[in-house]
């Protein structure tokens, strides 16, 4: 995510890899560590969801590199690097 520090970007990359490699090993509830601010779900295509920085509405986008996601609730456009 834009604005994230180096450490959280590293963690994101690691979580993304884990989500790709073992989509079922993470249990019935898809997701990542609590408090990470995002969660992965689905598989082929893998998707990531994260809260809108403005209204906290969940935004879900496919994992395919840098893209712009638009919040369905408040219309905020968030640039993210998935």
Place of tokens 């079922």: 24
CB 29 to Zn ion: min, Å: 24
Alpha-carbon distance of 6 to 18, in angstroms, equals 19
CA 1, 61, 44, 37 torsion-angle sign = positive
Q: Cis before residue 45, ω within 30 degrees of 0? A: yes
Q: What mask, x for binding Zn ion by CB under 5 A, covers residues 60 to 79?
A: -----------x-xx-x---
Q: What mask, x for binding Zn ion by CB under 5 A, covers residues 19 to 58?
A: ---------------------------------x-xx-x-
User: Which residues here bind Zn ion, judged by CB under 5 A?
Assistant: 52, 54-55, 57, 71, 73-74, 76
């Amino acid at each position: 995510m834009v604005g994230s520090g180096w450490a959280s970007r590293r963690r994101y990359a690691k979580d993304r890899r884990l989500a790709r490699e073992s989509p079922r090993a993470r249990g019935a509830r898809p997701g990542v560590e609590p408090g990470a601010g995002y969660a992965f779900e689905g598989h082929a295509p893998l998707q990531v969801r994260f809260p809108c920085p403005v209204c906290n509405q969940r935004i879900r986008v496919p994992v395919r590199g840098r893209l712009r996601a638009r919040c369905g609730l408040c219309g905020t456009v968030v640039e993210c690097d998935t």
